[in-house]
Amino acid sequence: MIESLLIANRGEIARRILRTARRLGVRTVAVHSDVDADLPFVREADEAVCVGPADPALSYRNAEAILAAAKSTGAQAIHPGYGFLSENADFARTVAGQGLIWVGPGADAIAAMGDKIRARNLMEAAGVPVAPGTREPVADVEAALAAGIGYPVMIKAAAGGGGMGMAVAADETALRAEFDKVRAFAERMFGDGSVLLERYFPRVRHVEVQILGLADGRVVALGERECSVQRRNQKVAEEAPSPAVTPELRERLLAAAVRAGEAVGYRNAGTVECLLDPATGEFFFLEMNTRLQVEHPVTELVWGVDLVEEQLRVASGLPPTFGTLRLTGHAIELRVNAEDPKRFLPGPGTVTTWVEPAGHGVRVDSGYAAGTTVPRFYDSLMAKLIVFGEDREQALARARDAVAGFEIAGPKSNLPFFAELLENDEFRSGDYDTGIVGRMRGR
């Protein structure tokens, strides 16, 4: 097993990785920006290094500073968490080139899946269903019109992720209006203005499969997660298993996800994201996230695994802890963000009250505590509230109680939205799609 680990991230995910590392006896190193110095993950690590100012480009995305911290502290491995440098193929390659262990897939797999056009083509060749779309970058609006994908159409940044760099066009006028906006955004945010087109399905579910590429070369799938509760194409609540997935559909989804991983020689944890038409049972490859997902806890609870431990074992060349996997119960995750619960606009600030719910089947992965400050420089995620039940009804009941028992004052929070969601007839029935939040807000 790896003996010392630098965690190149912050907040709740850094703290969550620390928890497993501490249990395994792995020495931990936290890196942080100057504004994060008082956060719990910094105090809880065995050693901490400030790698720069608040601007993530000068701290959490500062590859040179993070590598220097690893060298100065004698860290043996680097875990990138999610976001920041987690899907940066060049950084992964540099880490390995300097004799450190990268806790994630190889740089080649990251690069292959990071380009959405290349990823689509690889998946199609591997027999994974893909939605109708372009097989190469679209140069301009005229080429987009000539592609003949049909309407509505999704315009996507080829190098994008996290729901960013996307727009839907219902007709030619909208396509002309949105194309250059997406291309300019992609260039600014990702340094790559390449754009692709995919047929847009207005009433679909967003379902993803957790895969794990093992040290012996096998790829296994640990079930699916339902991720259709989204605002601005970004997830805010997830559950496992999906209420829309039958055993027969699960078998097809998992088999396709395994083929996707095998196609790129995948190692470590990753997620194959799909769009699902619940009316027909058809699903289409959307993208592969070559990292640990924010929503990984729901998979951990229903499959009885610690995915961070499995990541560390793969990176160490060790076999998994599990043998035959068995799906048990139901889990729901709610992303507690510092944001307005109506318009979902960020609302950072100093936490004056922080009381976490507790009880059987309740888990909180938090990044903050009373007296700490949610800064404006990073994602607004403060904590993840995860509940487990013997079935979905019990999980929903525990989620309602846990939301009511979670007290946060200071920054704004979306806890009132979750109280509303958990009483929503669509969500309670399990028969919902990616438009649920818009319908709740009258859009």
- Burial code (b: 16+ CB inside 10 Å, e: under 16) for 296-306 equals bbbbbbbbebb
Question: Which residues does 371 contact at the CB level (< 8 Å), separation at least 6?
Answer: 38, 350, 351
Cα separation, 101 vs 113, whole angstroms: 21
Cα(167)–Cα(358) distance, integer angstroms = 40
Active site residue 400: no
Find, among 102, 24, 78, the residue nearest to 267 by Cα.
Answer: 102
Q: Which of 15, 225, 291, 363 is catalytic?
A: 291
Which residue numbers are catalytic? 291
